[in-house]
Amino acid sequence: MEFKHKDIIALRDLNRQEIELLLATAESMREINSRAIKKVPTLRGKTIVNLFYEASTRTRTSFEIAAKRLSADTVNISPSTSSSTKGETLADTALNLLAMKPDIIVMRHAVSGSHYHLAKKVNCSIINAGDGAHEHPSQGLLDLLTIRDRFGRLDGLKVAIVGDITHSRVARSDIQGLTKMGSHVCLAGPPTMMPPGVERLGNVTVCATMKEAIQDADVVIMLRIQQERQGKTLMPNTREYSRYFGLNPENLRLAKPDAMVMHPGPINRGVEMSSYVVDGGQSHILKQVENGVAVRMAMLYHVCGGEMAE
Amino acid sequence: MTDNTTVLLDESGIKRALTRISHEILERNKGVRDVVLIGIRSGGAFLAEEIGHCMEVIEGERVPVGAVDITLYRDDIKSHGAHLPVGKTDISFSLEGKRVVLVDDVLFTGRTIRAAMDALMDHGRPGSIQLAVLIDRGHRELPIRADFVGRNVPTSLKENVAVRFNEKNQPVEVVLEK
């Protein structure tokens, strides 16, 4: 099985075998993260640019650690320090970066699809670290890995995704990944946070209430309320949101007794999840973060090979 | 399968070679004290298990057996390395000060052994590293030599030597493909 993609922009573009290959590689990468010397020489001499147009701590740090553990050199560029504040376009920024010969650009951008635009203009690999409300493939993959760790499989599981579906790129990547691997995905959220044509997101069930979605679920994925993206009109206030769409120990009992709870972070405690659930035994949130490094190592490793296959 | 294959060793031949290697390892190290076996994935890892069993039969004591995957340490990642799925390195014990016997199926250019030694060094500082191989086919590109050899086989660069395993991962034959 070869991985032939130069870029990883969306899980929509990958087939089941390719997703399985990435997960298998990530499992092997995990062993490196538990060693005393957490470094292998694989990507020695490669330069990776982390170009983050949107705020990020977890994802950027995770990509940076992943690159360093594979011995690549990393440079971080964020908008406050870059020329985009001086009016440079994305394509110009990219062409200028390209003149410095990076091997991979890891980018987060507020505009959905900007990575496809960029990938056409440059010959290095592009990895999407989140684009607008489109996809967040590394988060999708680490969610798949975390679920598979727990259950040993992905097919036949009922996965509830609850919250702001409209603005969530995590939801879109999760839907793509999970449905390709054979899970049954149920969505729930306030009607104002359901995108028009939600059923077109994939082979998903749209539930009217949160109860319906988490009933007998094996996995409950709670999404963050993206207050920076949505206007003030989508919900009356956070207390009302949490009453109807917050996860607490009472409604978690509707799910299967051994159900796992996940959240892409950062968490608004008391809004989408109560602290009892966040810190409870069914929460796998920190496990997700841990798997994030291994998954990103696998992505960096395979696009470097994919580049040569072109 | 091509018609131009010659069987170099059959199942009992392999068994005899591995038994002899096991005796030699025990003789060189004066027993099993501090000895650990590390097989190189995938063929070497299976052979390390076999040698581990042999040594247990002879000495009555089990030595730790681990496996190392060298994909991430290859020097040819540009030509085809990064297409390969990365296997699992599985060393559940400390290598600090141990007499490590590295096991591989076929010794060829020596580059795999170089990569495996680099990988081992990242797991700790072994007291010594010895090398056991089932087949040495020559054509070394690095200054590397095996301490324990099952069979020396002169080959041409056009030929290929393969160790075949059954579904239980036991070696069944060694063939020379032309």
pLDDT one-digit tens code per residue, A68-98? 999 999 999 887 666 666 778 888 888 888 8
Query: SS3 sequence, chain B?
Result: CCCCEEEEECHHHHHHHHHHHHHHHHHHHCCCCCEEEEEECCHHHHHHHHHHHHHHHHHCCCCCEEEECCHHHCCCCCCCHHHCCCCCCECCCCCCCCEEEEEEEEECCCHHHHHHHHHHHCCCCCCEEEEEEEEECCCCCCCCCCCEEEEECCCCCCCEEEEEECCCCCEEEEEEEC
Query: Are both A102 and A141 inside the same structural domain?
Result: no
Q: Is residue A185 part of a domain?
A: yes
Asked if the C-beta of B92 comes within 8 angstroms of chain A's C-beta atoms, the answer is: no
Structure tokens at A236: 């009356």
Q: B177 and B2 in contact (C-beta within 8 Å)?
A: yes
Catalytic annotation present for A253: no
Q: Is residue A5 part of a domain?
A: no
Return the higher-pLDDT residue of B158 and A310.
B158
Catalytic annotation present for A68: no
CATH of the domain at A50: 3.40.50.1370
Listing DSSP states for A129-169 in one string gives EEETTTB-HHHHHHHHHHHHHHHS--TT-EEEEES-TTT-H
Q: Is residue A212 part of a domain?
A: yes
Query: Are both A241 and A169 inside the same structural domain?
Result: yes
pLDDT above 90 covers a percentage of chain B that reads 79
* Strand partners of residue A262: A221
Between CA A119 and CA A105, with CA A174 as vertex, the angle to 5 degrees is 25
Q: Is residue A214 part of a domain?
A: yes
Give the burial string for A26-47 (b: 16+ CB within 10 Å, else e): bbbbbbbeeeeeeebbbbeebb
pLDDT above 90 covers a percentage of chain A that reads 71
* CA A5/CA A71 separation, integer angstroms: 22
* Residue A135 pLDDT greater than 70, yes or no: yes
Query: Are both A197 and A123 inside the same structural domain?
Result: no
B39: pLDDT confidence band, cut at 50, 70 and 90?
A: very high
Catalytic annotation present for A108: yes
> What is the per-residue pLDDT for A84?
66
A234 DSSP assignment: S
SS3 A211: helix
Length of chain A: 310
* Strand partners of residue A109: A131
Answer whether 0.80 is exceeded by the pTM: yes
* Residue A232 pLDDT greater than 80, yes or no: no
Contacts for B11 with CB less than 8 Å, ≥ 6 apart: B171, B172, B173
Structure tokens at B81: 């390395």
Query: Are both A24 and A81 inside the same structural domain?
Result: yes
Asked if the C-beta of B24 comes within 8 angstroms of chain A's C-beta atoms, the answer is: no
Q: Is residue A130 part of a domain?
A: yes
Query: Are both A152 and A48 inside the same structural domain?
Result: no
Domain locations along chain B: 12-74+87-153
Domain that holds residue A96: 11-136+292-309
Query: Are both A224 and A298 inside the same structural domain?
Result: no
Long-range contacts of B26-30 (CB under 8 A, 24+ apart): B26/B55, B26/B58, B26/B59, B28/B130, B28/B147, B28/B148, B29/B99
Q: Is residue A3 part of a domain?
A: no
Residues of B in Cβ contact (< 8 Å) with A37: 122-123
Structure tokens at B15: 């068994």
> What is the per-residue pLDDT for A16?
95
- Using a CB–CB cut-off of 8 Å, the residues of A that contact B are 1-3, 21, 24-25, 27-29, 31-32, 35-37, 39-43, 70, 298, 301-302, 304-306, 308-309
Query: Are both A86 and A181 inside the same structural domain?
Result: no
Structure tokens at B44: 């070497």
What value of ipTM does the predicted structure carry?
Answer: 0.76
Query: Are both A283 and A152 inside the same structural domain?
Result: yes
A309: pLDDT confidence band, cut at 50, 70 and 90?
A: very low
Query: Are both A130 and A150 inside the same structural domain?
Result: no
Query: Are both A280 and A155 inside the same structural domain?
Result: yes
Cβ burial of A184 (10 Å; 0-12, 13-18, 19+) is: middle
Catalytic annotation present for A263: no
Question: Hey, how many other C-beta atoms are within 10 angstroms of the C-beta on B121?
Answer: 13
Which residue type sits at A3?
F
Query: Are both A157 and A60 inside the same structural domain?
Result: no
Fold classification of B12-74+87-153 is Rossmann fold (3.40.50)
Q: Which of B77, B83, B87 sits opposite A42 (nearest CB)?
A: B77
Query: Are both A143 and A114 inside the same structural domain?
Result: no
Q: Is residue A200 part of a domain?
A: yes
> What is the per-residue pLDDT for A307?
36
Say how many domains are in chain A.
2
